[in-house]
Chain A
Amino acid sequence: MSNISTTSHPINATPAKSRRPLFFATLAIIIFLIPLIPGIPVYWITLLDNIGLAALVAIGLILLTGVGGMTSFGQATFCGFAAYTTAVLCAYHGMSPWLSLFIAVAVTMLAAIVLGIITVPLSGHFLPLGTLAWGIAIFYLFGKLDFLGRNDGITPVPPLSIGSYQFFDSRSIFYVIWVFVIIAVFMTSNLLDSRTGRAIRALRGASSAAESFGVDTTRTKLIVFVYAALLAAISGWLYAHMQRAVNPTPFGVGASIEYLFMAVAGGAGHPAAAIFGAAFVTLLKEILTRLLPFLFGGQAHFEEVVFGIVLVLILQKSRMGLWPLVERLLPQPADPVIDRSAPALSQRPQPEAGRKILDLKMVRKQFQGLVAVNDVSFSIKAGEIAGLIGPNGAGKSTTFNLVTGTLPLTSGEIRYLDERIDGLSPRQIAARGIARTFQHVKVLTDMSVLDNVALGAHLRGSAGVASASLRLDRKEEAQMLAEAARQIERVGLGEHMHKQAGSLALGQLRILEIARALCLDPSLLLLDEPAAGLRHFEKQQLSALLRQLRSEGMTVLLVEHDMGFVMDLTDHIVVLDFGTKIAEGTPAEVSKHPAVIQAYLGADA
């Protein structure tokens, strides 16, 4: 919105294609060539095998912890579920390992769903503590159950085989492991770069905003949780057939902490960071266990000491992990290409002007003893700009939260186009065409402006995890990005489209939230203090935009303290004080109303 006069970059110009995919492809080929190096010691190959196994778990953890914000101390447990399942099936029942892969993964995912349903709703630090609790409990359980061989475990587990060829040595299983790793990196980065990916990224720091745009955050959390468990399951299955034995030790909390260490060391920037994290930790451990006894003689237990110190140092010096250091050496990723020719997303018809679009009847909200909204009734007609004003704490934002379903009503009813919407979830209300912005900006600062705005179009797409990770969602994704770009330009943020949202000023972020709300294709737009932090000039631009939206048939309800702005723009004003409606009418009527002057405007307004 600001600096609209400066020339904006031609957005349509195709950006230079990034060489980054080429880089990753080359890296994959190099990895596959390593075992073919003549004379390379088996020991090195074994190390790479271990790195690959750990990387699989760490990729899931990066998605879960780094991106989704759920710290898990239980990933090794999921490896254990799969490893024990395949060990029991193959060692005791003679099943083929390839067949048992599916059963092992299924058992683990089932366990993950059960544990996830308990864990995922936990808030704040309760979540990692929860994973710690079941991680420890299940570890002890592995060691106590007779049919899992108690502390001795199960041995021997047959190796993987195709026909008569057995993947016995580290060299042959190397390819199996790394094919899985590369597929996992590929699918995970696809997933992040999609409709579902935006929803996952919103879990951390903007989950209530995501709910208001139709994201089922609990379900999304569960999806990420199970996805991470699936990768851990594959790792556990491979481990059982590579070691050809299972016992509880590698599935304890110690191992889980190590995986977490890898994810932290790698950083959350990219799924491939997991490989760096896994390599770093595995090699560090190897060096420490071999080098330290050599230096200090005798006991080899300095490794734990150094391990802890390195973990602390990484967190102190580079909280983003090692990936930013690696990334500096890589080709820059290209800005996403916006396909202007993508067919527009379908739009809902706007209700006929003058029809009652929103109707509140005796709406009441009580927090324990405190009445925040006290039997308030008012209605808004389609195609008008309405204002909701009143002193701080009068219940304006609470009213917004009641209309959008973020808070449940104590009593009363709310109708939207004759349909009762009180009692519906924020997602259901969003689906009916009500979009909002927030008083305290809820934007993902480390995501681009484009992706932030595209989150608003969540309900206008349908691609899920499977189609996203296999890249079958590109047509729909192009439509969504084109829509987001259109709305960004419309509100005047075009030149900031590919910047990180965090680099924008607060006033611009409020405008970004309007673009995001427009992406929902709303009939009713709720704006909470949209002009706060804008300069006079910028406020005029915002007014013009809102007038234009009105002329297109959209209805706007806004909360705002800038009386010049409100009086100038709105058709109809409702005034609240202490949760009670004290006045209602045109701007001219309201500004002369004695109760309003006394409670809100003051004498000299």
Chain B
Amino acid sequence: MSDLLLSIRDLYVSYGKVEAVHGVSIEVPRGEIVTVIGANGAGKTTLLNAAMGILPARGSIEFEGRNILRQPVEDRVGGGMTLVPERRELFATMPVEDNLLLGGFLISSSERARQLEEVFVRFPRLKERRRQLAGTLSGGERQMLAMGRALMAKPRLLMLDEPSLGLAPLIVADIFSIIRDLRSAGVSILLVEQNARAALRVADSAYVMELGEITLQGKAAELAADPKIVETYLGLATH
């Protein structure tokens, strides 16, 4: 139990009257990368938003053994989990550096300075652009800034929603290698991705979500070989 960082059990989430997630259970062991793949509208983003506390949910969410179902977003951030949302949600009219510093809003100012240096080492591009307004960054830089901002809070669990969406192949490769590095640095990751091929390559274990339910789960490598997954999500390798 102690190596289980996040444990979601039997989670139901609704938007108004429409239920989007029906009884989903997911586990993220400490030090692992777990991915949830599935089609657009399958409820993956809803699941992450509920895990972060942006949407109310029924069921159980435990983080490091504590029930956090009722905790507001702000407390979950303080507790050690952060989310990089699909739309990035940056402070567009503030410079890159302020965006990052605000990411460390809940930690002490000396820790914040140290953390900023670390993020700049990981994302040298952000250091070059530290004075530029976040709204003027390119798509790849925005994703880096969103990840950097989330890392400023020193999370033990980083949740990423579609980090590769709309990004060029080279940048996608960059992002995934950073995700790998983060795991080596001890950050556990819950990754929601459309790019199933890349996600399964980087993850330890994986879940397939369809119409608000988990339909398959297992080791990432096993799922990558599953013929059904290959047909629907991966296709034959064309390059």
Contact = CB atoms under 8 A, between A and B. Distances in A.
A391 B232 contact: no
Interface string B145-168: 000000000000000000001111
Nearest to B230: A536
A529 interface: yes
A535 B167 contact: no
A2 interface: yes
Given A393-B141, A505-B40, A604 B233 contact: no
A537 B141 CA distance: 30
Interface string B122-156: 00000000000000011111000000000000000
27 contacts: A390-B168, A391-B138, A391-B140, A391-B168, A391-B171, A392-B141, A392-B167, A392-B171, A393-B139, A393-B140, A505-B39, A507-B40, A507-B41, A532-B165, A532-B166, A533-B165, A533-B194, A535-B39, A535-B40, A535-B194, A535-B232, A536-B231, A536-B233, A563-B239, A601-B170, A602-B169, A604-B173
B238 interface: yes
B235 interface: yes
Interface in A481-521: 505-508
Nearest to B174: A602
Contacts of B235: 536, 539-540, 564
A164 B136 CA distance: 71
B234 interface: yes
B41 A605 contact: no
A344 to B, nearest CB: 33
Interface in B200-239: 231-235, 238-239
Given A505-B41, A533-B40, A393 B169 contact: no
Interface in A525-569: 529, 532-537, 539-540, 561, 563-564, 567-568
A392 B168 contact: yes
A605 B141 CA distance: 21
Contact of A601 (B40, B140, B169, B194): B169
B139 A537 contact: no
B238 A564 contact: yes
B234 A2 contact: no
A600 interface: yes
A561 B173 contact: no
A390 B138 CA distance: 12
A346 to B, nearest CB: 36
Interface size band for A: 20 to 34
Contact of A506 (B40, B141, B231): B40
- Leading 10 A-B pairs by shortest Cβ distance: A393-B138, A505-B41, A392-B139, A536-B235, A564-B238, A505-B40, A391-B168, A392-B140, A602-B170, A392-B138
A389 B194 CA distance: 20
Nearest to B172: A561
B65 to A, nearest CB: 36
Given A535-B232, A564-B239, A600 B165 contact: no
A599 interface: yes
Contacts of A366: none
B215 to A, nearest CB: 14
A439 interface: yes
Given A391-B140, A561-B172, 12 more contacts: A391-B168, A392-B166, A392-B167, A507-B41, A534-B40, A535-B40, A535-B194, A535-B232, A535-B233, A536-B232, A591-B239, A600-B169
B131 to A, nearest CB: 14
Contacts of B165: 532-533
Interface of B: 39-41, 137-141, 165-173, 194, 231-235, 238-239
Interface of A: 2, 389-394, 439, 505-508, 529, 532-537, 539-540, 561, 563-564, 567-568, 591, 599-602, 604-605
A2 B42 CA distance: 12
A566 to B, nearest CB: 10
A38 to B, nearest CB: 47
Contacts of A591: 239
Contacts of B232: 535-537
Given A536-B235, A563-B239, A567-B239, A600 B170 contact: yes
Contact of B173 (A506, A599, A602): A602
B239 A605 contact: yes
Most buried by B among A506, A529, A561: A561
Nearest to A603: B173
A604 B237 CA distance: 13
B233 A391 contact: no
A443 to B, nearest CB: 15
Contacts of A532: 165-166
Contacts of A534: 40
B19 to A, nearest CB: 15
Contacts of B172: 561
A605 B169 contact: yes
A389 B171 CA distance: 13
A561 B166 contact: yes
Nearest to A534: B40
Nearest to A599: B170
Contacts of B139: 392-393
A87 B171 CA distance: 70
B137 to A, nearest CB: 8
Nearest to A510: B40
A600 B170 CA distance: 5
Contacts of B41: 505-507
Nearest to B173: A602
Most buried by A among B40, B140, B167, B171: B40
Given A535-B232, A537-B232, A567-B238, A391 B39 contact: no
Contacts of A508: 40
A390 B137 CA distance: 16
A532 B139 CA distance: 14
Most buried by B among A393, A507, A532, A604: A393
Contacts of A599: 170
A583 B140 CA distance: 21
Nearest to A391: B168
A561 B234 contact: no
Contacts of A540: 235
A2 B235 CA distance: 16
Nearest to B37: A535
Nearest to B162: A533
A55 to B, nearest CB: 31
A576 B39 CA distance: 30
A597 to B, nearest CB: 9
A561 B169 contact: yes
A391 B170 contact: yes
Contacts of A2: 39
Nearest to B39: A535
Contacts of A439: 166
A390 B171 CA distance: 11
Nearest to A598: B170
Contacts of B238: 564, 567-568
Contacts of A505: 39-41
Contacts of A563: 169, 239
